Amino acid sequence: MKATVLVSYLFAFFGLFSSVYSRNVASRPAVVNIGALFSFDSTIGRVAKIAIEEAVKDVNANSSILHGSKLVVTMQSSNCSGFTGMVESLRFMETDVVAIIGPQSSVVAHIISHVVNELQVPLLSFAATDPTLNSHQFPFFVRTTQSDLYQMAAIAEIVDYYGWKQVIAIFIDDDFGRNGMLALSDKLAERRCKISYKVGIPPDSGANRGDIMDILVKVALMESRVVVLHVNPKLGFSLFSVAKYLGMMGNGYVWIATDWLSSYLDSFSPLPSETINIMQGVLALRQYTPDSDRKRSFSSRWSKLAGGSLGLNSYGLYAYDSVWLVAHAIDAFFDQGGVISFSNDSRLRSEGGNLHLDAMSIFDDGLLLLKNILKSDLVGLTGPLKFDSDRSLTLPAYDVVNVIGTGYRRIGYWSNYSGLSTLPPETLYMRPPNRSSANQQLYSVIWPGETVLKPRGWVFPNNGKQLRIGVPIRVSFKEFVSQVRGTDMFKGFAIDVFTAAVSLLPYAVPYQFIPFGNGKENPSYTELVNLITTGFFDAVVGDIAIVTNRTKIIDFTQPYVASGLVVVAPFRKLNSGAWAFLRPFSPLMWIVTGCSSLLLAQWFSLSTLFFAHRENTVSTLGRFVLIIWLFVVLIINSSYTASLTSILTVQQLFSPINGIESLKESDEPIGYQVGSFAEYYLSQELGISKSRLVPLGSPEAYARALQLGPTKDGGVAAVVDELPYVDIFLSTQCTFRIVGISTGLPLAVDMSTAILALSENGDLQRIHDKWLMHSSCSSDRTEIESDRLELKSFWGLFVICGLACFFALFIYFLQIIRQLYRVPPAESASPTQGGSRSGRLHRLLSLMDEKEDQSRQKNKRRKVERSLSENDRDVELGRNTKRKGIEMTSGSNINPSS
């Protein structure tokens, strides 16, 4: 019976399934219409046309998809015109298309995205790379290729990889070009680089050779020699031709082209020699597509499909995959019960004329088809076809290619996952992401001019402009920099280093010194540095400290003198007196040592500091504690002896200030140099109140304030300043000492190299000695530190000793408690007395007395036994001696003759 019911259920289930399946198949239309919109005459369009037609054939020939429905594509040419593209897209709406492949142009995509949003028809673009085409403004726009946001990120990483800071951008002045340059500017800014000059060329303006020459002449006068081209192929080759004519394709120049160049090279290689020769050494990007069997199979039949006259580029692969993406989404759409139906839009009514707006209709289930497209997860010719939360294809990557010879050579890859690498991106996806600079790698490049030496990327502009070099007008410590009275010239240590470094550069550096300051007090170096960021100064020369906040906004050269904040304070010599023996230990050290001695062994332990140990220790626990304490005493005694010896034999210096921490904890005034960053450091970093800070303007003011001391008006307890200034100050002031230490322009790199060369050949040291070495103090200027032994040096020993005592005492009380419960209570006068608390306390004290008596008796017993054993040995020894004497006597009385 049960088997019959089960069979009945199975037949019912399969019958229901077959009926649902047959109804689903029956609901599928015989034909599904899609549209394709792009420019037939363009490089990308010619390749895309063949790829889309072949994809439709392959879909219809595959029985595992669409299940009887035939995919039909209608193609229209937009001619890269926004108006034409809009008209052609409206025509699609009269033929009930459910999706549109294209457009190719970002300009056209912006316009027709408004149309598809209203009519709810998904728009899948395989070539519109404008990063501003996003899902927020255009929800029915789906980009099935890589966004220029990633391409510009790749260019920015290449620029940063080679150490360039500025680029010149030439772009086509439409949505595609302008928005691409905005993305490039943002990505460069993230790496502290920038676009120093950019020029847009209007599209379809028919810019002739003369116009392009005018643009490139202006570029040649600029400082940067790194040029980024974001244009179309026609304009790009015209730019290369004129640049070759002007000598701008030679040594020193860098040209980086976006993927328009690689697409053209893939489609029409090999190029004529006169064309390929004008762009030797150019770097370009190409959308990366991993190798696969399907891709190789499709590439092998491409030559037959294109008639051998057209190569396959990456945009053709994305166009092919877009058709398959739509086909899979439509198949899932039908599986979910979707129906292709359209409704008229009541807002579109024709009031006469020939527009026939009422012929356009809304795709009722367009949103369902869009969701299926965005949920796609398949593998195509270009790799995985999957969208992230921003509706961008996952894992964007590019090839980095170098145009050389008759074609190009791949020098590496860029991926959004790990940056620049010589390994394929799919290899890196299996490893943790690593964007460190050490992990960024590219193969060597043949640069313009057929050189392998990396171009510097910039020159001084040829427009007659001189670098404006800001120089502080100091009123103190003029050894570093000072203005020659009555002239515009400067002298000093920093000036000599600058001029010597400039003389080592392999090119001329036109510059002029611009004074900064009022000449009455040292100027603010923070304001001086900020003027570089505003463009008022191109650079600054002087004794500028390299601090964290400044390195975030400007570039520094290699430092040419040691720096750092130090604390200067008065000192006095310490003499050995009657109480010198107390100086090795600090007061707290003496207190802890004394208390420990009294606590551990009373007078016996204290005596071990000075006398030989003669007492016997009975208890094992006592011996354990004594051993630990003797070890502590050994260390303390040795340290005390060494410190006292040093105090009595070596001249000691003393200062009430021990460093920056003692200054911070006190409430005494602190001096600093006017204009120095020491004020900011003391107030902002250390949190010292500004009321305690006293500005000082000269070495004489330092000495006067230190001599007055913190108790008098105008005096200070110490001065905090940079080490170079302190060295000059102490070279003539022998009563003070150091008592503590506190912890953009491309020319910067070349100047750093030149400064290093000065250091290597000895010129930097000679300049240093000329300006900064005039010491009249012979005493050592090392830092003054405390000569006392502090408790912190020995606290570990005291902790060990304390733990040993605690451990021994704990074991002792455990033994007492154990005996307390094992020994029966003594008879008492009353029954209640033995069980009371006082009785238990009395028993505990009795046990402790008994244990002490037992210990004493054992000790006495050991002494008696030892004494008895010694007596026994003496008696035995006496007997043996007597016996030997008797034998000898007996032997002497024997008559030998008998």
> Which stretches of 270-397 are DSSP H helices?
273-276, 293-306, 314-335, 366-374
Domain boundary among 714, 745, 776: 745
- Same-domain pairing of 409 and 263: yes
Is 389 within a domain?
no
3-state secondary structure 26-94: HHCCCEEEEEEEECCCCHHHHHHHHHHHHHHHHHHHCCCCCCCCEEEEEEEECCCCHHHHHHHHHHHCC
Please tell me the distance from the alpha carbon of residue 822 to that of residue 342, in angstroms, as a whole number.
Answer: 101
Q: In whole angstroms, what separates CA 859 from the centre of its chain? A: 72
Q: Do 138 and 117 touch, CB atoms closer than 8 A?
A: yes
- Same-domain pairing of 662 and 635: no
- Does this model's pTM top 0.85? My answer is no
Is 702 within a domain?
yes
Q: What is the DSSP string of 717-762?
A: SEEEEEHHHHHHHHTT-TTEEEEEE----THHHHHHHHHHHHHHHT
Is 556 within a domain?
yes
**CB proximity list for 539: less than 8 A, separation 6 or greater:** 467, 468, 469, 470, 511, 532, 745, 747, 748
- Same-domain pairing of 89 and 178: no
Which CATH number characterizes residue 536's domain? Answer: 3.40.190.10
Q: In whole angstroms, what separates CA 213 from the centre of its chain? A: 43
Of the candidates 344, 432, 340, the residue with the CA atom closest to the CA atom of residue 31: 340
DSSP state, residue 404: E
Please report the pLDDT score of residue 397 as a whole number.
Answer: 96
- Same-domain pairing of 334 and 196: no
Length of the chain: 898
Q: Which domain holds residue 231?
A: 148-292+396-439
The count of structural domains within the chain is 5
Q: In whole angstroms, what separates CA 737 from the centre of its chain? A: 39
First to last CA, the chain: 138
Of the candidates 472, 474, 477, the residue with the CA atom closest to the CA atom of residue 723: 477
Residue bearing tokens 């002739």: 208
Angle at 684 (CA atoms; ends 683, 687), nearest 5 degrees: 60
Is 872 within a domain?
no
- Same-domain pairing of 134 and 154: no
Please report the pLDDT score of residue 29 as a whole number.
Answer: 92
* CA atoms within a 13 Å half-sphere pointing along the CA-CB vector of 215: 25
Q: Do 325 and 380 touch, CB atoms closer than 8 A?
A: yes
- Same-domain pairing of 511 and 420: no
Q: Do 417 and 395 touch, CB atoms closer than 8 A?
A: yes
Please report the pLDDT score of residue 713 as a whole number.
Answer: 84
- Same-domain pairing of 264 and 171: yes
Q: In whole angstroms, what separates CA 803 from the centre of its chain? A: 46
Please report the pLDDT score of residue 760 as a whole number.
Answer: 63
Is 779 within a domain?
no
Q: What is the helix (H) or strand (E) element at residue 679, kind and residue range?
A: helix 678-680
Please report the pLDDT score of residue 577 as a whole number.
Answer: 59
Please report the pLDDT score of residue 144 as a whole number.
Answer: 95
Is 754 within a domain?
no
Please tell me the distance from the alpha carbon of residue 827 to that of residue 833, in angstroms, as a whole number.
Answer: 9
By the 10 Å C-beta count (0-12 exposed, 13-18 middle, 19+ buried), 605 is classed as: buried
Ramachandran sector of residue 206 (left: φ over 0; alpha: ψ -120 to 50; beta: rest): left
- Same-domain pairing of 178 and 312: no
Please report the pLDDT score of residue 18 as a whole number.
Answer: 38
> Which stretches of 313-361 are DSSP H helices?
314-335
Tell me the two tokens of residue 144: 């099935």
Tell me the two tokens of residue 640: 């005390």
Domain boundary among 692, 713, 745: 745
Is 607 within a domain?
no
pLDDT along the chain (898 residues), means of 10: 41 39 59 91 91 95 90 87 74 83 89 88 94 89 95 97 94 93 95 92 81 93 94 93 94 96 93 93 96 93 88 95 96 93 72 58 92 94 92 94 95 95 93 88 95 90 80 89 88 90 81 90 89 90 82 80 81 61 76 75 46 50 73 80 68 64 84 85 86 89 89 87 86 82 61 70 78 62 51 68 77 75 55 55 62 54 59 57 48 42
Please tell me the distance from the alpha carbon of residue 797 to that of residue 30, in angstroms, as a whole number.
Answer: 93
Residue 439 CB neighbours (<10 A): 13
Tell me the two tokens of residue 379: 């593998």
Contacts 24+ apart (CB under 8 A), 682-691: 682/720, 686/660, 688/663, 688/664
- Same-domain pairing of 471 and 530: yes
Is 217 within a domain?
yes
- Same-domain pairing of 170 and 83: no
- Same-domain pairing of 134 and 37: yes
Residue 330 CB neighbours (<10 A): 25
- Same-domain pairing of 113 and 257: no
Which CATH number characterizes residue 425's domain? Answer: 3.40.50.2300
Please report the pLDDT score of residue 775 as a whole number.
Answer: 62
